[in-house]
Amino acid sequence: MSNMKKRYVPFTYKMMISYLLLVLLTDVLIGYISYTMLTESRTEMAETNIRTGMQQARNNIQYQMDEIQRMSDTLFGSVSFQRALQKRGEPLDIYLTMMDEVIPQIVSPLQLFGNNIRFMLYTPNSDMIVITGDNLDKPIGQSDYYILPLRDIEHTEWYQSHKNSERNNLWVQIDTDRKLDHISHIRKLVSYSDYGSVIGFVRITVSLEDLFGNFATFPVEEGITVRLIHQSTGERVYQRGQAEQVNQVGKPGEGLGKGSRRDVYLSLHESIPGTDFAIETLVPEAYLTKDAGKLQRAILGVCAISFIVMTFIGFMVARLTGRKMTRIVMLVRSFQEGNFQKRIRFSGNDEFVRIAEAFNMMAMNIQELIDSVYLQGIQKKQAELEALQAQINPHFLYNTLSTINSLANLGEISKVTEMVQGLSRFYRLTLNQGNVHILLRKELEQVETYLEIQRVKYADTFTVHIDMEPGIMDYQVIKLILQPFVENIFKHAWFGETIAIRITGRRVKGDIELKIIDNGVGMRPEQVKRLRIGPSQAGGYGVKNVDERIKLRYGEAYGVYIASIYGAGTTICLLLPADRGEVEDREEFAK
């Protein structure tokens, strides 16, 4: 018997026994855990879906409420609208005033609002022409407006409770709102002359169905109920669904009580910011566990298929694996980790040799591609920065030389000397020995040099205040980011005899915030928009040039921001990362 030849069994086949036992044990364990966690998982998934729908509904409601409030804010703050409401005179004059001032300011927001709304203006002005209709007690079919006398509502309960109230901008259900599933925004209009006299009431009514938007995420046909409730009183304002009361409120993972499955609910709330309302969703237990049987069968099927597949794969792996495959797997793992320097060599002339050659070639190509793309990216970024940096508008140089020529003709030798020295110092700081970055103190010194040149030209007709945190003066910034905006103040913002300029710098969290503030003529919103999206027409680098250079260097999170009020001045804000020189080091390394 000892001389009998033993049957050869590969080592990989021997490993299959423990492998199959492990696969079987794993499948059974996974199936058991999946089944026991089924109810909890389904509850969490359902809650997540419902909460997502509630957040969408909340955002939709809040957005529409904000839009409606902005309508009333516009009318409240419109002096021409208030004057028109208080105008008295002949019917023709009143009619023309309404057609020119009142009705356009009412109709315009109605046309822009996405849903149908009803606008009602109650005015105590008896000369105002009344616009009424027979749709006030009907659901809103399309956007419409009405101008009614204040006496129509003087005896209503809501008017009596709000006419002397300090609260304004309220969302309430009044008159027929509850019956029609409407809700109204009411606002008291007061005279701009004394801010005390009531010149009217604005009521904007919207359908709650439109306010909620799409109910696709709330399958009410499966027992889910959605409500809009008043948080302080608990009053139900609106409801979609059949639930009338909740016997038991549960939370995920805690169970939902022992009551009837029809009466047990999971209650979810979502407050609407800025209002007294909240969205309440009641999810029945039956909805949470409706797929339990289906998922159970699916788990059993997946486990069975998994075991069969893994068994088949195990036998295939046992026949095909070996040291060559192990080496190939190790090579692939090194690729996954980003190491493309390793190579593999096999002897022979089979598929493993071809695979090894293909892997080696792929690794070499990928490494070359990475090197090429990385280098091209750096070169492209540097070229874009240098192209922007080269866009120096010689307008300032022309003007300064022209001023120097005029002073020389007048014999102002001392002023000519002062301006030439200032101009030399300005361009020495501008060149910065060819470096893109400059210390913030040097950038500020360049601005001060520019202002000294301008002071020779403009004498004492402008004042400058500089307020910089000492701790940020040694940070690196891109050169020529302050002077173009100061130059624009002299070229475009000046009106009157004098102008004041303020330059500030602060450390804000991990960034630096620089501001150039003036009390000049300011800009209208469309001018600000053109500065940001169009080519610069203002000389120097311009807003767009500086903004693009900052974004190319530091990323889209940084750049130039403009705040301006026409007739009151402009604030330019530059947001930069706090940099002590690491960027410059990386440039030198790339070169």
| DSSP per position, 86-118 | H--S-HHHHHHHIIIIIHHHHHHHHHHSSS-EE
Per mean pLDDT, which range of 156-170, 312-326, 376-390 is the poorest?
376-390
What is the rounded CA–CA span in Å between residue 86 and residue 83?
5
Q: How far from chain centre, in Å, is Cα 184?
A: 29
Q: Write out pLDDT tens, residues 266-314.
A: 888 888 887 888 988 888 877 777 776 777 778 888 888 888 888 887 7
Residue 444 CB neighbours (<10 A): 20
What's the first-to-final CA gap in the chain, in angstroms?
A: 78
- Tell me the C-alpha distance between 200 and 510, whole Å: 50
How confident is the model at residue 377, as a pLDDT? 66
Q: What is the pLDDT of residues 500-556, one digit of tens each?
A: 999 999 999 889 999 999 999 998 888 888 877 655 444 434 677 788 888 888 888
Structure-derived torsion over alpha carbons of residues 292, 295, 299, 301, reported in degrees to the nearest 10: 120
Mean pLDDT across 192-204: 84
Helix (H, G, I), strand (E, B) or coil at 465: strand
Token pair for 389: 């940096």
Band (pLDDT 50/70/90 cuts) for residue 167 is confident
pLDDT value at 383 more than 80 = no
Residue 164 per-residue DSSP state: T
Rounded to 5 degrees, what are φ and ψ at 120?
-125, 125
Specify the range with the lowest mean pLDDT, choosing from 38-42, 189-193, 360-364, 454-458. Answer: 38-42
Measured distance CA(511)–CA(472) in Å, rounded? 10
Which of 28-42, 131-145, 177-191, 258-272 shows the lowest per-residue confidence on average (mean pLDDT)?
258-272
At residue 540, the pLDDT reads: 37
Prediction pTM value: 0.45
Q: For the chain, give the mean pLDDT.
A: 78
Q: What integer pLDDT is reported at residue 514 of this predicted model? A: 95
pLDDT at 584 over 50: no
Tokens of 311: 């068994």
pLDDT at 378: 65
CB under 8 A, 24+ apart: contacts of 16-23: 16/314, 16/315, 16/318, 19/314, 20/310, 20/311, 20/314, 23/306, 23/307, 23/310, 23/311, 23/314
What would the pLDDT profile of 217-236 be if each residue is shown by its tens digit?
A: 777 777 888 888 888 888 88
- Residue 581: predicted pLDDT: 65
Answer whether residue 6 shows pLDDT above 60. Answer: no
Q: What is the DSSP string of 232-273?
A: TT--EEEEESS----SEEEBTTTB--SS-TTTEEEEEEEE-T
Phi-psi category of residue 561: left, alpha or beta, with phi > 0 → left and psi -120 to 50 → alpha:
beta
